[in-house]
Structures are given as structure tokens and as C-alpha cells.
């Protein structure tokens, strides 16, 4: 029996042997071509145009309610395409590392080139950065409302991970026309990830991004739990995430107390 | 930009605005390509509403192949030598006799460039653009296949 792949090179070999799929420049070229088309269509969508138009209005509404700005000055959301390397890594995690049924297919089936644009939910993502903790839920509610207005299917989560990661994640579904490898096109449903986080969390996310990417490339090592391994990078970075979240909660409390005093 | 390049772009329906963008990319390649740039090609496909979508912009010289991927929105440029370095040419076609393209014609080309590692190149064309891709194939790809 074939051994379980433990890194990306073994995963590529597994794809070739088990599914007759070879990951080459051609795979990446098609990925680049399809994702560029998805981004282009999304940028032109009524939902995205309206979202950008509404941002100042949301900011003013929050300001009137709380006395503080919602967004960082001159904030404009940008759309990011997941790099092919990260995308392939994610399929590795879903097919192998996080697949509790391995060697059988994960729930929903194997994630392979004929379905992977629909199955990976953050090929295209955007990030809204708010100044205060309560701005996360405020912004999340606004995005949900806009999704409903545009008749879009969506799912929303307030993420609070053991690893000290805090943000709102909203996944909206879009119908997209993408180029086939040879000619013409096909219609598929894709998910776009909308993240909402605070300015402080964003600072730490930017610092830790490279570290998380490296960690995700390999299967999890069994051994001392990170919570006890005080010399590890994980210990410092993950607890920094939790501490920041706590500090942001404290800032909110101070802000609310000040408001009560004024009343 | 050369007059025949503009004529080609007009013939496949590239708008004036997009032609301006192509002209700036052409100037960029003119600066870096050691040879004179002798041909242009734009890959395209037809959407379900029958409109045309452009993907890659390519230029050719006697010794080099240049491309700008997703050139409408991105600045992602490559240049590769082609002189006797191409191999494994794969051609797929639909409703095309390699003579005169029709509205239904589609052409797809894939080959490797040997530069120590194999770099893959994919070009696709639809409708009248198939005739241009055929000419490119016969002028630059077939003569440069490794023996």
C-alpha cells in the first residue's frame, strides 16, 4: 500500500501515482488564467462595486453610534488571488493531512483539478481592517446584509482559534465563467473569502504570515504541545494573538466606560 | 508599434484602449529583446455570450519568444530563447482545417522550451485568430523543434 504523503513533494508523487495527475507549469498556467478571470469578474460584480461605494457610509454610521471611526483612514479593500503554491498546499492539507478518513477520500470527495476551483473556498480573498473589536461584528453584519440584498449565498464565522487567531470570515458564492484548458468556457460556482479583522490583529498577522506558511507545508509533528513548549515560535506567536485579543477587549471596556461617564 | 501589428490587433477586435496597453508592453520588450521583434500574437477564447476574452500577449523574434501573462491587468513578462530548443509540440483543433478559419474554428498549441529545465508554453486561438496562430506555428515553432 502507498505510504501517506508527509510533504508537498510526496503529495505531488501521490497525485501522479493515484490520480494520474501531474503538477507542472501547465497546471499553474491554467490556475493563473482561471483565477485572473475570477478576480476580473468579481471586481466588476454589482456586489463588489456597491460594497466599495458603501464603505464611507458604514464608517459614518459607526462614528455616529460610537464616536469613533470604523475603518483606518483611506482604507480601500483589495482583492488577493491565492498563490498557486499556497493553493496546492491547501489541497494537500484537505486531501491528506486533515483527512481523518485517509486513505479513503475526504468528506465531499478528493479535491482534484476537475473540481478544485469550486472546492477551495479562498482562491480569491479580501480583508477589511477595522480599528476596534466591535467593528468586526458591525462590518460582518453589513457585508451579510449586502450579500442578502444581492441574493447571494453565504456563510459566516466568527473565528476564535486555539492558535490565537481572531477574525470574522465570510464566504460568499459566485457563479463564474472560466476558460477551459483548450478552448471555450465553463460555468462554475466559486467562493470568495471576506475577512474582517482589527488593525492590531492585522499587524500580528502580517508578522506571523511567513511562519504559518512554513508550518503548513509539513504534517503536524507529534510531541510536546505548543502550550507547554515555551521555547517554541508557536508559544510566543500564538499567545501574542490571545493577549492582543484580550487587550482589544479591554480597550472596548474603557471606551464604553468613558461613554457612560459622558452620559 | 509596427503597422502590421496594429492591423492584426484590429482584425481580432482589440479595442484602441487595449492597443495602447499593448503598445507599452511592446516598448518594454523592444528594450530587452536582443533581436528585432517580428511578430505578435494574442491568445483568446470565446465566452458563452459570444464575446471574446484575451489572455496572453506574445511577441516573437528570430531567436526569442516573449509573453505577457494576463496582460490586461498584470505586469508579468517572460522572455525565452527558441532557436532549436522547442520539443513535444502538441496541437489540438476543432472545426479547423489549418487552411481557412471559420467562426467555429478553435486551435490549441502546447510545447516545451529546453532551457535546462522544460518551460511549458500554451497558446490558444478562436475564429480568425486560428489563422494567425497557424502562421506563428509554421514560422517559429515547427522550424525550432529540436532534432
Inspect the interface and report whether the beta carbons of B45 and A179 lie closer than 8 Å. Answer: yes
Inspect the interface and report whether the beta carbons of B72 and A40 lie closer than 8 Å. Answer: yes
Q: Largest Cα–Cα distance in chain B?
A: 43
Q: What is the ipTM of this complex?
A: 0.84
Q: What's the CA gap between A71 and A60, in Å, rounded?
A: 10
Task: Point out the residue among A25, A177, A184 whose CB comes nearest to the CB of B119.
Answer: A25
Crossing angle of helices A25-44 and A46-66, in 10° steps, is: 60
Q: What's the CA gap between A103 and B83, in Å, rounded?
A: 47
Tell me if A15 sits within 8 A of A23, measured CB to CB.
yes
CA distance A48 to chain B (A): 18
pLDDT tens string A96-130: 999 999 999 999 999 999 999 999 999 999 999 99
Return the residue of B nearest to A35 by Cα: B70
Q: Spell out which residues of chain A touch residue B92, defining contact as CB-CB under 8 Å.
A: 182
Interface test with B, best of A180, A182, A185, A187 (most B CBs within 10 A): A182
CB within 8 A of A64, min separation 6: which ones?
none
CB within 8 A of A247, min separation 6: which ones?
A200
CA distance A237 to chain B (A): 35
Number of H helices, E strands in chain A: 8, 5
Q: Spell out which residues of chain B touch residue A23, defining contact as CB-CB under 8 Å.
A: none
Q: What is the pLDDT along chain B (147 residues), one digit of tens a residue?
A: 899 999 999 999 999 999 999 999 999 999 999 999 999 999 999 999 999 999 999 999 999 999 999 898 889 999 999 999 999 999 999 999 999 999 999 999 999 999 888 889 999 999 999 999 999 999 999 999 988
pLDDT tens string A45-88: 999 999 999 999 999 999 999 999 999 888 999 999 999 999 99
Task: Point out the residue among B46, B74, B119 whose CB comes nearest to the CB of A184.
Answer: B46
- For residue A165, the SS3 value is coil
Helix (H) or strand (E) holding A14: helix A8-19
Please calculate the CA angle B72-B74-B80 and round it to the nearest 5 degrees.
100
Return the residue of B nearest to A32 by Cα: B70
Q: Over 80: is that where the pLDDT of A212 sits?
A: no
Asked if B90 is an interface residue toward chain A (Cβ–Cβ < 8 A), one would say no
Tell me if A113 sits within 8 A of A31, measured CB to CB.
no
Confidence band (pLDDT; 50, 70, 90) for A221?
Answer: low
Task: Point out the residue among A37, A39, A182 whose CB comes nearest to the CB of B92.
Answer: A182
Give me the mean pLDDT over the A157-183 stretch.
92
Q: What's the CA gap between A234 and A244, in Å, rounded?
A: 15
Q: Over 60: is that where the pLDDT of A1 sits?
A: no
CB within 8 A of A176, min separation 6: which ones?
A37, A38, A41, A187, A188, A189, A190
Q: Is the pTM of this model over 0.95?
A: no
Task: Point out the residue among B92, B108, B120 whose CB comes nearest to the CB of A24.
Answer: B120
Tell me if A192 sits within 8 A of A172, measured CB to CB.
yes
CB pairs under 8 A between A and B: 49
Amino acid at each position: 500500500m502507498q505510504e501517506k504523503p508527509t510533504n508537498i513533494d510526496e503529495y505531488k508523487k501521490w497525485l501522479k501515482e493515484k490520480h494520474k495527475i501531474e503538477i507542472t507549469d501547465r497546471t499553474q498556467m491554467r490556475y493563473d488564467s482561471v483565477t485572473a478571470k475570477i478576480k476580473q469578474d468579481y471586481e466588476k460584480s454589482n456586489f463588489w462595486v456597491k460594497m466599495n461605494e458603501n464603505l464611507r457610509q458604514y464608517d459614518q454610521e459607526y462614528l455616529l453610534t460610537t464616536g469613533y471611526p470604523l475603518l483606518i483612514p483611506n482604507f480601500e479593500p483589495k482583492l488577493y488571488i491565492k498563490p498557486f503554491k499556497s493553493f496546492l498546499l491547501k489541497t494537500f492539507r484537505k486531501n491528506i493531512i486533515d483527512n481523518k478518513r485517509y486513505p479513503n477520500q475526504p468528506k465531499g470527495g478528493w479535491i482534484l483539478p476537475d473540481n478544485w476551483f469550486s472546492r477551495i473556498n479562498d482562491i480569491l480573498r479580501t480583508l477589511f481592517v477595522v480599528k476596534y473589536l466591535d467593528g468586526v461584528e458591525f462590518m460582518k453584519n453589513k457585508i451579510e446584509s449586502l450579500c442578502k440584498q444581492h441574493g447571494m449565498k453565504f456563510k459566516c464565522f466568527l473565528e476564535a482559534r486555539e492558535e490565537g487567531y481572531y477574525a470574522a470570515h465570510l464566504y460568499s458564492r459566485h457563479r463564474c465563467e472560466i476558460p477551459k484548458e483548450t478552448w471555450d468556457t465553463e460555468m462554475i460556482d466559486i467562493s470568495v473569502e471576506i475577512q474582517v479583522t482589527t488593525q492590531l490583529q492585522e499587524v500580528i498577522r502580517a508578522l506571523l504570515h511567513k511562519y504559518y506558511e512554513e508550518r503548513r507545508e509539513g504534517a503536524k509533528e507529534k510531541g510536546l504541545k505548543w502550550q507547554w513548549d515555551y521555547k517554541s515560535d508557536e508559544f510566543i506567536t500564538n499567545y501574542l494573538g490571545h493577549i492582543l485579543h484580550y487587550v482589544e477587549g479591554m480597550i472596548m471596556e474603557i471606551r464604553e466606560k468613558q461613554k457612560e461617564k459622558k452620559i | 508599434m509596427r503597422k502590421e501589428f496594429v492591423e492584426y490587433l484590429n482584425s481580432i477586435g482589440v479595442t484602441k484602449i487595449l492597443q495602447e496597453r499593448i503598445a507599452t508592453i511592446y516598448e518594454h520588450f523592444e528594450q530587452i529583446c536582443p533581436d528585432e521583434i517580428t511578430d505578435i500574437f494574442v491568445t483568446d477564447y470565446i465566452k458563452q455570450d459570444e464575446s471574446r476574452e484575451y489572455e496572453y500577449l506574445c511577441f516573437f523574434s528570430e531567436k526569442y519568444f516573449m509573453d505577457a501573462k494576463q496582460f490586461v491587468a498584470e505586469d508579468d513578462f517572460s522572455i525565452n530563447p527558441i532557436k532549436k530548443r522547442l520539443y513535444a509540440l502538441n496541437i489540438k483543433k476543432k472545426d479547423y482545417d489549418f487552411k481557412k478559419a471559420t467562426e467555429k474554428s478553435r486551435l490549441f498549441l502546447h510545447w516545451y522550451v529546453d532551457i535546462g529545465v522544460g518551460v511549458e508554453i500554451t497558446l490558444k486561438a478562436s475564429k480568425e485568430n486560428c489563422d494567425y496562430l497557424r502562421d506563428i506555428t509554421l514560422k517559429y515553432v515547427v522550424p525550432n523543434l529540436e532534432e
